[in-house]
Amino acid sequence: MKSKKQKVKTPLTIEDVEKQIRDHYLSRDYKLEKDQSEGDEKWGFNVSIFSEHKSKELYVVFRSESVVEDIRFKSNTFKKLFKKAIKHFDLQRRKKA
């Protein structure tokens, strides 16, 4: 009898969240700095995490020359917090596609 291999899930990290945010804005036709030409809009985002006992908050601020967006996510664990943020930006990116 063959034993089933169990998938080992790696924990979500802030890097996973940042990658999803970056991919979202790239899907909105923003370009990475290294790929920008002179006429392309400059942009960037900042991710801040605030933590208290059983209260976590992730705050994303996106800025470009013409747009400012701020988005907040709240949860009681980092895992749920990161999942919420990743899901949000993934859904937004898919809407664009």
What is each CA distance from 58 to 16, 34, 72, 81, 84, in whole angstroms? 13, 27, 6, 7, 10
Q: Summarize the confidence of residues 30-55 as an average pLDDT.
A: 91
Q: Summarize the confidence of residues 35-50 as an average pLDDT.
A: 91
Identify the helix (H) or strand (E) that includes residue 51.
strand 43-52
pLDDT at 15 (0 to 100) = 93
Q: How many helices (H) and strands (E) does the chain have?
A: 2, 3
* pTM > 0.85: yes or no: no
* Alpha carbons 13 and 54: distance in angstroms, whole number: 18
What percent of the chain clears pLDDT 90, i.e. is strictly above it? Answer: 64
At position 37, the amino acid (one-letter code) is: S
Whether residue 1 is predicted with pLDDT greater than 60 in this model: the reply is: no
